[in-house]
């Protein structure tokens, strides 16, 4: 059974990445931190076995930073497409579905400390569930996965990028064969960043920013 892991990332251009964090620490520092987020996530994903890895790029896979990481970690690239995040996510799933992938998982770059075991667990859950989500404490998602044959139905029935993604999906739980991963956190502002640093130190992980 073909499995695809998609990571969404943006070109590290000031004013377009982590804008709430930028307001707290400035554009230049924010860009460098974002680059470390993306590089760290891709490095962790590169160690996963039995999964083809894709980098969904915005605005273009031709960005030197993104294309360089894709080459380093042996990832295939494609351009994100769609008018909003929800549309870009559903289009990314269809992109991999058209290429024959039957179990597809997508993560972003806002949760740099996501354990690799959560991603492994998502693929295990897709053997028996149609949809798996990794909920954030702010009611967004750090991960979403779906089975190929259910993609069209799922993305017609749920709405993403509303600020209430988890609540909206749970409202549909009776209609969707759903699996829920552990809650985790993402990084939106300077307080989130401080927590991430402390968490990484606690875990004995070198803090690269």
Task: Let me know if residue 209 belongs to a domain.
Answer: no
Task: Let me know if residue 208 belongs to a domain.
Answer: no
Residue 111 reports pLDDT greater than 80: yes
Beta strands in 32-93 (DSSP E): 52-58, 76-79
The pLDDT score that the predictor gives to residue 2 is 97
Q: Taking CA 189 as the corner, what is the angle to CA 79 and CA 12, rounded to the nearest 5 degrees?
A: 30
Residue 9 reports pLDDT greater than 80: yes
Task: Let me know if residue 28 belongs to a domain.
Answer: yes
Task: Let me know if residue 181 belongs to a domain.
Answer: yes
What is the domain extent for residue 120? 3-202
Task: Let me know if residue 106 belongs to a domain.
Answer: yes
Tokens at residue 47, please? 């160690």
The pLDDT score that the predictor gives to residue 193 is 96
The pLDDT score that the predictor gives to residue 21 is 96
The pLDDT score that the predictor gives to residue 159 is 80
Q: pLDDT tens for residues 143-201?
A: 999 999 999 988 888 888 777 888 888 888 778 899 999 999 999 999 999 999 999 89
The answer to whether residues 52 and 2 touch, using CB atoms and an 8 Å cutoff, is yes
The pLDDT score that the predictor gives to residue 161 is 77
The pLDDT score that the predictor gives to residue 204 is 85
- Does the global pTM surpass 0.85? yes
Tokens at residue 113, please? 């400390």
Task: Let me know if residue 34 belongs to a domain.
Answer: yes
For residue 66, the Cα-to-chain-centroid distance in whole angstroms is: 15
Task: Let me know if residue 46 belongs to a domain.
Answer: yes
The pLDDT score that the predictor gives to residue 4 is 98
The domain that contains 35 carries what CATH number? 3.90.550.10
> For the residues 59-75, what does the mean pLDDT come to?
98
Q: Using CB atoms within 10 A of its CB, is residue 110 exposed (0-12), middle (13-18) or buried (19+)?
A: buried
Task: Let me know if residue 8 belongs to a domain.
Answer: yes
The count of structural domains within the chain is 1
Residue 16 reports pLDDT greater than 90: yes
Kind and range of the H or E run holding 7 = strand 3-10
Cα–Cα distance for residue pair 144/104, rounded to 1 Å:
8
């Amino acid at each position: 059974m073909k499995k695809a892991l998609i990571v969404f990332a943006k070109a590290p251009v000031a004013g377009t990445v982590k804008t709430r964090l930028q307001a707290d620490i400035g554009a230049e520092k924010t860009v460098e931190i974002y680059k470390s987020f993306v590089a760290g996530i891709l490095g962790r994903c590169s160690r996963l076995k039995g999964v083809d890895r894709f980098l969904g790029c915005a605005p273009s896979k031709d960005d030197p930073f993104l294309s360089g990481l894709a080459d380093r970690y042996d990832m295939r690239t494609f351009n994100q497409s769609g008018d909003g995040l929800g549309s870009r996510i559903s289009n990314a799933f269809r992109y991999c579905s058209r290429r024959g992938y039957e179990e597809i998982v997508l993560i972003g770059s806002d949760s740099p400390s996501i354990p690799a075991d959560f991603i492994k667990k998502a693929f295990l859950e897709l053997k028996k569930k149609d949809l798996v989500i990794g909920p954030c404490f702010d009611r967004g998602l750090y991960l979403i996965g779906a089975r190929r044959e259910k993609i069209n139905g799922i993305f017609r029935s749920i709405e993403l990028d509303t600020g209430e993604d988890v609540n909206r999906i749970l409202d549909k739980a009776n209609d969707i064969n759903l699996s829920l991963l552990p809650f985790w956190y993402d990084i939106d502002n300077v307080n989130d960043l401080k927590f991430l640093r402390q968490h990484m130190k606690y875990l004995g992980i070198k803090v690269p920013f």
